[in-house]
């Protein structure tokens, strides 16, 4: 049973971490009328002072306990290194706070599962910060897939590369959660197999480049390329269906989504005796770039967080989705240690949001 939650007054939030992503969270919280920035927990004195210059009336300091003990604070938003997520989220949930923790939810599936259970036991909202599931272009592609306009989905390819920010957790932990969250959101099918191969060039056991193959229940596969070492920023995903193909580019300010009425078709000759007697034809149709309303995904994510706190509804980027992504990440790391051998996963659909009447269903005729 969920405890009583704030009504229409602003939800008071304290942010933990003011490093890479924290300033974006602080800005969006401060801009939203349904949220009130109530504090910052930051160990680095320089960052805390930078925050205080921008928000002089908001308390800031290194002590998390002061915010956890403050009954006026409803929620804690965590934007710290992934290795700290579990302990900070555990403490916040135990203190009766709603929690939004940036990706990934935890360092491993055991920790993530414990957080999910704790959120359920305390009746608090636990939300994973997978911002891409709130992206308007991402949701336009999802709409095209779910409507059947693309036909049966054959496969997906994705490239996420740049001269990126080097982190000791490796490129899979850093970048793969984005693609995994997008693919789960699009296909609404669990991952049942993961193959992964990585390359460590500058630091042993810290792969800067990785190649993943994800197999989804029903047979759809996705090939994901990740790298911090590419000469230019590339954020491109292509979904190939039996009727149409769609290209999504995160770096494009306009025409982020392009739908191509193109493909290959096999037409049988009269009474064919061999495969060679089938006739191959190319279908070359129009390219359409649908109009997409602009909106900041992080602001939409925070709006969903507020809605869940006020109503008890399950957020789109729910804790079970966060756990599922951590499971896939763990399988990818395990596969990489085994030289790219496939790691099987038991299918789970608990992350599908029942509020939106979604169920695991086939995305390809097998």
Closest CA to 172 of 160, 190, 182: 160
| Termini Cα distance of the chain | 42
How many C-beta atoms lie closer than 10 Å to residue 30's C-beta?
14
Residue 349, CA atoms < 13 Å, CB-side half-sphere = 11
Check whether 192 has a pLDDT greater than 50. Answer: yes
* Stated pTM of the model: 0.89
Q: Distance (Å, rounded) from C-alpha 152 to C-alpha 333? A: 30
Mean of pLDDT over the chain: 89
Q: 142-181, pLDDT tens digit by residue?
A: 999 999 999 999 999 999 998 867 677 788 998 999 999 9
Q: 263-300, pLDDT tens digit by residue?
A: 666 666 555 555 555 666 666 777 899 999 989 999 99
- Within 8 A by CB and 6+ apart from 4, the residues are none
Given pLDDT bands bounded at 50, 70 and 90, which one contains residue 59?
A: very high
Q: 219-254, pLDDT tens digit by residue?
A: 999 999 999 988 888 899 999 999 999 999 988 767
Contact (Cβ atoms closer than 8 angstroms) between residue 116 and residue 330: no
What confidence score (pLDDT) does residue 365 get?
A: 34
What confidence score (pLDDT) does residue 267 get?
A: 65
Q: Distance (Å, rounded) from C-alpha 278 to C-alpha 73? A: 68
Given pLDDT bands bounded at 50, 70 and 90, which one contains residue 4?
A: very low
Check whether 366 has a pLDDT greater than 50. Answer: no
Q: Distance (Å, rounded) from C-alpha 210 to C-alpha 224? A: 8
- Taken in order of first residue, the domains within the chain and their CATH numbers are 11-124 (3.40.50.720), 133-295+325-356 (3.30.360.10)
Torsion of CA 139, 142, 143, 146, to 10 degrees: -160
């Amino acid at each position: 049973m969920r405890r009583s939650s704030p009504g229409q007054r602003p939800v008071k939030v304290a942010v933990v971490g003011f490093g890479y992503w924290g300033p974006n969270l602080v800005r969006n919280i401060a801009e939203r009328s349904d949220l009130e920035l109530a504090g910052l927990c930051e160990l680095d004195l320089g960052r805390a002072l930078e925050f205080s210059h921008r928000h002089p009336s908001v308390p800031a300091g290194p002590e998390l306990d002061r915010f956890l003990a403050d009954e006026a604070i409803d929620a804690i938003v965590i934007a710290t290194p992934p290795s700290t997520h579990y302990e900070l989220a555990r403490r916040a949930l135990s203190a009766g706070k709603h929690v939004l923790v940036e990706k990934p939810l935890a360092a491993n599936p055991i920790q993530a599962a414990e957080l999910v259970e704790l959120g359920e036991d305390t009746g608090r909202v636990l939300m994973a910060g997978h911002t891409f599931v709130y992206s308007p272009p991402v949701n336009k592609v999802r709409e095209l897939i779910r409507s059947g306009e693309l036909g049966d989905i054959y496969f997906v390819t994705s490239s996420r590369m740049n001269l990126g920010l080097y982190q000791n957790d490796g490129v899979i932990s850093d970048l793969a959660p984005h693609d995994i969250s997008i693919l789960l959101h699009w296909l609404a099918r669990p991952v049942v197999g993961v193959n992964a191969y990585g390359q460590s060039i500058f630091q042993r056991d810290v792969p800067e480049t990785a190649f993943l193959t994800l197999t989804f229940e029903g047979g759809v596969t996705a090939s994901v390329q990740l790298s911090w070492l590419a000469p230019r920023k590339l954020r491109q995903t292509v979904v190939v269906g039996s009727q149409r193909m769609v290209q999504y580019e995160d770096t494009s300010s306009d025409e982020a989504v392009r739908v191509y009425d193109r493909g290959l078709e096999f037409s049988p000759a009269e009474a064919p005796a061999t495969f060679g007697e089938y006739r191959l034809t190319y279908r070359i149709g129009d390219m359409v770039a649908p109009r997409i309303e602009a909106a900041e995904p992080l602001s939409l994510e925070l709006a969903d967080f507020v809605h869940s706190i006020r109503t008890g509804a399950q957020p789109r980027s729910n804790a079970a989705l966060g756990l599922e992504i951590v499971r896939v990440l763990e399988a990818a790391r395990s596969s990489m240690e085994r030289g790219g051998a496939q790691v099987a996963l038991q299918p789970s659909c608990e992350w599908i949001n029942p509020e939106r009447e979604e169920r695991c269903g086939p995305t390809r005729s097998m």
